Structure 1
Amino acid sequence: MKTRVWTMTAALAACVPQAATTATESEAGTDATRAASEATADAPTTDATTGAPAQCETFPTYRIDVQAEPNGLYYRVDEQKLYIADDDNNRVLVRDEDGATEVFAEIPNPSGDPGSDGLGDLDFAADGTLYLPRFGFGMPGLGAIFRLGPDGEAEALAGVDDEWRRVGLDYDDARGLLYVATYSRDADDVYTGWIASVDPVAGVETMIVGGLSKPVGIAVLGDTLFVGDQSQRQLFKLDLKAAAPALTLVSDEFESLDLMETTPDGALLVLSYDTANSTGRVYRVTGDGTISTVAEGDWEPRGIAFDGVSRIFVSARDTQQIVVMPAC
């Protein structure tokens, strides 16, 4: 893995694309998708796997039509499939490299109106279990976190407060815990946010640290947990080894932070939206705190996934599209 990590570091850091001309999938994306897919198929996926490191291939940015309102995304390298949380219909879709899309799971919607329940981020555990939150908009009985098996059967986790709002989550295989960006909103539109851990086996939800406003994106990198406060424009980290974890500011220069993703070389991909200029951006944050722009465009980002080699997938709000852009 060390060979691959160094190669990925060089590939991702060497090129910082500016806003690219968007092509349709039929015009530019198909060849690039297949090339990246072939590289991804050869990429090692576990520490025990050895072989030649995959190479990042650049290509023109393109868009995928998904006939859904995509939010959370997850690319499974082992399957070469993209999992998509459909926010409008409370479904999880799965799309293969040939463009075929099918429904993987139907998520219960107690309100009877799927679009009013909402879905958030997606994350797989190493054992193949998929986790995702149902946002619920603060309505009693609607907030939840679901565990999905390989058959797509959805089971709500016990011990989770059904009135809290949750969008971002990340499963930590090392600790067997879900870390969840959680917040509430009162009648005066005041947000109060915190980071919670959820033990999916014991059914216990525990606040780890408060002091946030509207946390959305969250990601684990080793013993460090990152969280983005959307309304405060702040990216924080905390040490999971600490007896009393505390928030440490990484940057307060982002605007409208959304979901985030980790990369195989130990960096963070962070989504942000510049409302004044209607510009979405993907930033790369390295372990030492260096921040660079990976991509930008005329899309409002929501969810993000990375194929581990060449492609970054970003859900574009209110377009029923996913923007696919090069990671190098």
Structure 2
Amino acid sequence: MKTRVLAMMAALSACVPQATTTATETETGTEATGTATTAEAPTTGAPAQCETFPPYRIDVQAEPNGLYYRADEQRLYIADDDDNRVLVRDEDGEIEVFADIPNPSGDPGSDGLGDLDFAADGTLYLPRFGFGMPGLGAIFRVAPGGTPEALAGVDAEWRRVGLDYDDARGLLYVATYSRDADDVYTGWIASVDPVAGVETMIVGGLAKPLGIAVLGDTLFVGDQARRQLFKLDLKAAAPALTLVSDEFESLDLMETTADGALLVLSYDTANSTGRVYRVTQDGAISTVAEGDWEPRGIAFDGVGRIFVSARDTQQIVVVPAC
């Protein structure tokens, strides 16, 4: 899970029916042309209360996608799509390479990297997107020293962007989808046992799931193409999708908070506006931040800063968590 012991340490010390969706795909961007319809921004409640500051941008000289802030280290980990690397940035602004992820295509932009998540033992997990090209889709385990290893038992042609490691169950939950020759997306949620090397579909009925997050026994997933946020009960013998909201326009990656809420990324294509929403487990939605950026990845420092990857800018936007 994204907000676990690592984040808490710093805080304490300071199925829907299957339907076809046709779309044009970048890595995480979708311009839907099928069953999905344009939605208004969600009706939101009052923003959270915290110490605010003027939003600012960090220049990373990379194409950031997935992000993860390790509060115990006070460092931000960054998936770099430009060069298939994981970078790490400290609070002084120094950036170094943490891991080089293999790119069999020879063109890093054709492989792509997705979300980042750490297990409690310091192991980093991330997917290589692959665009459905034979042999390019993968999930990597990166040791604390930065050595990457592809997980066994993972289908190399499936597309994956969002994942979340569940320490309680020892499983990765992965937002997974395929795209056929007619540009129709078919999506599902999979679990991956990184030790046994087994990938298992948990529930289908999605189009293009991206963001995914575990909160206790509840798994949340956002379907970008259908603009819907779902949850499912991991304790159920046959988990089923329950709709949380269908008011978002275009969902991307998401993050959890220590008080049991979600930070969800969305992009208003009509107004070229990116937004961060806070979603509680009972479905209450509030707007945390918005701006002239197209969001991709998100991280939370567990205190007051939210980091958002801004597409095609080589920058990370930093906004207050209220």
TM-score when scaled to structure 1?
0.84
- Mapping of residues 40-79 of structure 1, within 5 Å: 44-45=8-9, 56-79=50-73
Q: Distance in 2 between matches of 1:235 and 1:294?
A: 17
**Over residues 237-274 of structure 1, what are the superposed CA-to-partner deviations in whole Å (9 max), with x where a residue is unaligned?**
00000000000000001011000000011000000000
Q: Is the 8 A contact 1:56 1:309 kept in 2?
A: no
Q: Which amino acid aligns with 2:85?
A: R
- Mapping of residues 177-196 of structure 1, within 5 Å: 177-196=171-190
Could you tell me how far 1:57 is from its partner in structure 2? 2.7
Over the aligned positions, Cα root-mean-square deviation in angstroms equals: 1.5
**Over residues 70-98 of structure 1, what are the superposed CA-to-partner deviations in whole Å (9 max), with x where a residue is unaligned?**
00000000000000000111000000000
Could you tell me how far 1:207 is from its partner in structure 2? 0.1
Q: Quick one: which of 123, 129, 132 aligns to 1:138? A: 132
Q: Distance in 2 between matches of 1:87 and 1:236?
A: 28
Residue of structure 2 equivalent to 1:22: none
Residue of structure 2 equivalent to 1:213: 207
Q: Which amino acid aligns with 1:277?
A: N
- Mapping of residues 64-103 of structure 1, within 5 Å: 64-103=58-97
- Mapping of residues 94-243 of structure 1, within 5 Å: 94-243=88-237
Q: Which amino acid aligns with 2:277?
A: Y
Q: Distance in 2 between matches of 1:147 and 1:117?
A: 17
Q: Which amino acid aligns with 2:291?
A: G
Could you tell me how far 1:56 is from its partner in structure 2? 4.3
> Which stretches of structure 1, 4 residues or longer, exceed 3 Å deviation after superposition?
49-52
Q: Is the 8 A contact 2:250 2:266 kept in 1?
A: yes
**Over residues 34-79 of structure 1, what are the superposed CA-to-partner deviations in whole Å (9 max), with x where a residue is unaligned?**
xxxxxxx9x8429xx9667xx9431100000000000000000000
**Over residues 149-190 of structure 1, what are the superposed CA-to-partner deviations in whole Å (9 max), with x where a residue is unaligned?**
111100000000000000000000000000000000011110
- Cα distance change of structure 1 residues 50 and 218 upon mapping to structure 2, 3 Å threshold: closer
Q: Distance in 1 between matches of 2:247 and 2:53?
A: 29
Q: Which amino acid aligns with 1:301?
A: P
Residue of structure 1 equivalent to 2:242: 248
Where structure 2 has 5 or more consecutive residues not aligned to the other structure, the ranges are 1-5, 15-48
Q: Which has the higher contact order (CA 8 A, sep 6+)?
A: 2
SS of equivalent residue, structure 2 residue 109: helix
Could you tell me how far 1:220 is from its partner in structure 2? 0.2
SS of equivalent residue, structure 1 residue 112: coil
Q: Distance in 2 between matches of 1:263 and 1:317?
A: 23
Residue of structure 2 equivalent to 1:36: none
SS of equivalent residue, structure 2 residue 161: strand
Where structure 1 has 5 or more consecutive residues not aligned to the other structure, the ranges are 1-40
Q: How many residues align?
A: 283
SS of equivalent residue, structure 1 residue 243: coil
Q: Which protein has the bigger helix share?
A: 1
Q: Is the 8 A contact 2:8 2:258 kept in 1?
A: no
SS of equivalent residue, structure 1 residue 45: helix
Q: Distance in 2 between matches of 1:143 and 1:51?
A: 39
Q: Distance in 1 between matches of 2:81 and 2:140?
A: 14
SS of equivalent residue, structure 2 residue 205: strand
Q: Is the 8 A contact 1:91 1:105 kept in 2?
A: yes
Q: Which amino acid aligns with 1:201?
A: V
SS of equivalent residue, structure 2 residue 131: helix
TM-score when scaled to structure 2?
0.86
